[in-house]
Amino acid sequence: MLRIFLLLIFALSFSNSTKSHAEELTSQRQAALIHMLKHDCGSCHGLTMKGGLGPPLTPDALAGKDMDILSDTVFYGLPERAMPPWEGMLSREEIVWLIKQLKKGIPQ
Amino acid sequence: MKQQITKILFILTFVLMGCSGSIRGVGDMGLVIERASGRIQVVETTNKTILGGVKGLGDLSHASAVYSRDGRYAYLFGRDGGLSKVDILTQTLVKRVIQGGNSIGGAISQDGTLVAVSNYTPGGVRVFDSTTLELVADIPAKGEDGELSKVVGLVDIPGQKFVFSLFDAGEIWIADLSEVAKPKITKFREIGEKPYDGLVTPDGRFYIAGLFGEDGLALLDLWNIEKGPRKILQDYGRGAKKLPVYKMPHLEGWAIAGGMAFLPAIGRHEILVVDTNSWEEKGRIPVHSQPVFAMGRPDGRQVWVNFAFPKNDTLQVIDVQSMKVVKSLKPGKGVMHMEFTPRGEHIWVSVRDGDRVEVYHTDSFTKLTELTVEKPSGIFFTSRAHRIGL
């Protein structure tokens, strides 16, 4: 119940703020995020995002998946499945930006 | 006539020597994985130099290597399921096969004839002839639940056997390949929740699987397998909130010294010290952050520890006798792996984000040199060829 509530709140909060903030990510920060995605997320999801201990994050694998749920998964993590929460390290905007990049496919 | 033949032979010898460089041994050689470039750099530790690169090895994120018993050939296990055999003397790729969809590690049999690879997809272990890289055995890791499980913690043990853990199913299997055509599998079910890695003690007697899904580790006495696995250190996290894990620790490099084992605690800023006779906890050493590798210097006097993201810029050195951190170093962001020279006077350290490998003296902690290597991760020296479980 609490989860759904939180989900709602966040869904609402970034429907307002995502667009404006995402555009504010500097190219330097974007590069840092992509680096982190490849090398740190990559330690479980694979450098090429084809999966490892964690599931694949390729455009195919993410196709049709809901942005809010994906973003929540990254933000809060899935303790049962070894996914750590990235709250505190990544902002909501950064997470949404990263998921968009993943859905497009990360240049290798 | 005879003179002419001698002359020709002399010239031939000279030409051949010119081709292959001077004759050398491989005992001081090794390789560094360039994880993002699908390439390795072959190195030597006597003069601390790079001898040459070998490319075309696929996705090498999380890649590891084992060596043939003569130390000349390295078998590399790539994330993309590639198994590559590299001649480090000539720095050439001998053979490469794609053996699975997503692999995580490998091992070489006691006699050096078999190379085993553990796969996430399809979950299982495949065994190859080390000369030809032909598939000789396929062992799907179908757990008790009937599903294929990701395989982790694959090691070799004496007697042409391999031991590994099933991440999803929570099982430990022993595969006996003394008859390659008929692998004999011994399965241990319900060994604990989500084993994430495994190791075997240097004498090949105890196999230990670290558990992600619960506190503690599963211990299997391979000299008395009828007793089955048991849990050790079950209490180490009791009452404390587990921290999120941004990088799974590795157990492979664990340190055994003076009857004690030093293990990275998962989700905690601690190294666990275990008595290797009783397997009871002997202490905990607070460290900088969540440890990834805890590696013992070959003489067992020090343990070097690196850390998980986001605090992966640091290395700490534990003095085994006092069980205290005696030195902290900051090589830079992305300290991925370390490897000691065979007798431990130096340690080589991968600094991923700095695109360099640093070499330190292990007594003075002085930095001796830096080598330029693109996004380095694992470092593997040929001295591994003669150690069980590496």
Shortest CA distance to B377 belongs to which of B353, B342, B359?
B353
Residues B59, A77: C-beta atoms closer than 8 Å: no
Residue A35 to residues A30, B79, B150, B279: CA-CA distances in angstroms?
A: 9, 18, 26, 41
Q: Which of B25-29, B67-71, B252-256, B297-301 has the lowest average pLDDT?
A: B252-256
As a whole number of angstroms, the distance between CA A5 and CA B192 comes to 34
Residues B61, A48: C-beta atoms closer than 8 Å: yes
Phi, psi of B247 (to 5 degrees): -155, 125
Residues B61, A51: C-beta atoms closer than 8 Å: no
Q: What residues have CB less than 8 Å from B131, skipping those under 6 apart?
A: B113
Percent of chain B with pLDDT over 70: 93
Token duo for residue B138: 């396929």
**A61 in contact with B at a CB cutoff of 8 Å?**
no
> Is the pLDDT reported for residue A12 higher than 50?
no
Rounded mean pLDDT, B299-317:
95
**B346 in contact with A at a CB cutoff of 8 Å?**
no
H or E element that contains A22: helix A2-22
Under a CB-based contact definition with an 8 Å cutoff, are residues B348 and B50 in contact?
A: no
H or E element that contains B248: none
Q: Is the dihedral of CA B273, B186, B126, B190 positive or negative?
A: negative
At residue B6, the pLDDT reads 59
Half-sphere exposure of B238 (CA within 13 A, CB side): 4
pLDDT in tens, B283-307: 999 999 999 999 999 999 999 999 9
- Per residue, what are the HEC states of B205-236? CEEEEEECCCCCEEEEECCCHHHCCEEECCCC
Domains and CATH numbers, chain A: 2-104 (1.10.760.10)
As a whole number of angstroms, the distance between CA B266 and CA B268 comes to 6
Q: How far is A108 from chain B (nearest CA, A)?
A: 9
Under a CB-based contact definition with an 8 Å cutoff, are residues B325 and B307 in contact?
A: no
pLDDT in tens, B54-66: 999 998 888 999 9
Q: Across chain B, what does the average pLDDT equal?
A: 92
Among B61, B102, B245, beta carbon nearest to A82: B245
Question: Which residue has 């090794």 as its token pair?
Answer: B30
Q: How far is B352 from chain A (nearest CA, A)?
A: 9
B228 beta partners: none
Q: How far is B196 from chain A (nearest CA, A)?
A: 9
Domains and CATH numbers, chain B: 41-232 (2.140.10.20), 245-383 (2.130.10.10)
For residue A40, the chain B residue with the least C-alpha distance is B309
Under a CB-based contact definition with an 8 Å cutoff, are residues B256 and B296 in contact?
A: yes
